[in-house]
Amino acid sequence: MAKTFSLAVYAITIHTYGNKNDRQVLSDFNNGQDFLEYMDTMITSWKQDVARGDQYVPVNTDAEPNAQQGNAYRLSRKPDGTYHLYRRGRYLSGIIESGDYGTQEDGVDISTGELKFQKGAGEALMKPFYFMFYIPENSNIGFLLIEKISNYGIMTVLNNAILKFYQASPSDGLYTLRIAPLSIDALVQRKMQTLRYEAKKIELRKVTKDDLSISRISGNTINNEGISTTITYNIGINQYMRISEFLNWIRNKRNDTNTLYVIEEDLSCSDIAITVKIDGQDKVLSLQDVQSLGMSMDISTNVVLGPNRYPTYSFVDGKANELISFIQQQFNVR
């Protein structure tokens, strides 16, 4: 199976401990702290030095300190000895190499089957992954882009490293750091256009409306407890609703506590499902399924590979900047 390459998108927020609504400005929180400076300091510390030796790599053992298996990672080094780490204004990007250790595998010639090398349990085969932190000035949301190679990535490793570094900072205990997947509208629309996602049925599930309660329509012979109502809109033959238009409408219907969709004053629901036609077949998607289409951008088409047969930094960086333009448009940041 051919490798695929993509960029996953994550939102970075910091809020006052115990108050999720009190989001802080990431470039200036806790009396002048800057989250981008945090990340620059953390990743710069991964550079090799003479005291540690050229072979030093941090090891991710947070989940199980004495684990015999885990993941090693390091900042990628170029042939001239410099590092793939670049700071430009409110951007920090580079390449982190990562690989699993703890198992032994044979490396063979695929043409002859001849044994060429053996990876020991204390060794890791390192894959290069692009990353970018974008922390706009005076914004209460920041962004992290991470390259994925097929099903491989560094989000778990990087997230653990970030949390560990943050916990040692003067901000821990006062402010809570959160990094979560983020859906980008432009990516949702792009993928729906590519896959021709068109709605044939929309279901409002777990509806709250007094006129529709089972107790009301049964003359109070049935109790409402444990019974939910679903409203279904079936779209006729040769008629389709563009999901993007529906998403733009429903996005503004979320209530203040982010628990319900308030369709109108006395009608709300807690879940929405959409039936779409894909290659002539019906497929039911939750609203979360649709939103997940925007959580990563495929960059496999016309990919530029380096001598190691992985995408070059300049190629992925160009795609990352394209993705940043979508982010800036959606969140009105610069």
Tens of pLDDT along 240-280? 777 777 877 887 888 888 788 999 888 999 889 988 877 67
Using the predicted structure, report yes or no on whether residue 52 has a pLDDT greater than 80.
no
pLDDT exceeding 90 applies to what percent of the chain?
56
Q: d(Cα 301, Cα 303) in Å, to the nearest integer?
A: 5
The predicted structure's pLDDT at residue 176: 97
Number of domain units in the chain: 2
Using the predicted structure, report yes or no on whether residue 13 has a pLDDT greater than 70.
yes
Residues 31 and 51 in one domain: yes
Rounded to the nearest angstrom, the gap between the alpha carbon of residue 140 and the centroid of all alpha carbons in its chain is 18
Residues 59 and 159 in one domain: yes
| Of residues 148 and 221, more confidently modeled | 148
Residues 170 and 225 in one domain: no
Torsion region of 138: left, alpha or beta (phi above 0 gives left; psi -120 to 50 gives alpha)? left
* pLDDT (tens digit per residue) in 273-326: 988 877 677 888 888 788 888 999 999 999 999 999 999 999 999 999 999 999
Out of 141-145, 146-150, 224-228, which region has the weakest mean confidence (pLDDT)? 224-228
Among 287, 293, 316, which Cα is nearest to 303's?
316
Residues 140 and 49 in one domain: yes
SS3 108: strand
Among 142, 2, 37, which Cα is nearest to 45's?
37
Angle at CA 317, nearest 5°, toward 315 and 318?
65
SS3 80: coil
Helix pair 185-195, 313-331: axis angle to 10 deg:
110
CA atoms within 13 A on the CB side of 217: 9
Among 38, 45, 42, which Cα is nearest to 135's?
38
Residues 313 and 207 in one domain: no
Among 132, 143, 130, 138, which Cα is nearest to 183's?
143
Domain range for 247: 188-292
Residues 255 and 233 in one domain: yes
How confident is residue 50, by pLDDT bands cut at 50, 70 and 90?
low
Mean pLDDT for the stretch of residues 65-72: 70
Question: 């997230």: which residue's tokens?
Answer: 159
pTM of the model: 0.81
Q: d(Cα 223, Cα 24) in Å, to the nearest integer?
A: 46
The predicted structure's pLDDT at residue 194: 74
Mean pLDDT for the stretch of residues 155-168: 94
Mean pLDDT for the stretch of residues 190-219: 82
Residues 169 and 84 in one domain: yes
Residues 110 and 236 in one domain: no
Out of 94-108, 156-170, 202-216, which region has the weakest mean confidence (pLDDT)? 202-216
Q: Are strands 198-208 and 175-181 parallel, antiparallel or unpaired?
A: unpaired
Using the predicted structure, report yes or no on whether residue 61 has a pLDDT greater than 70.
no
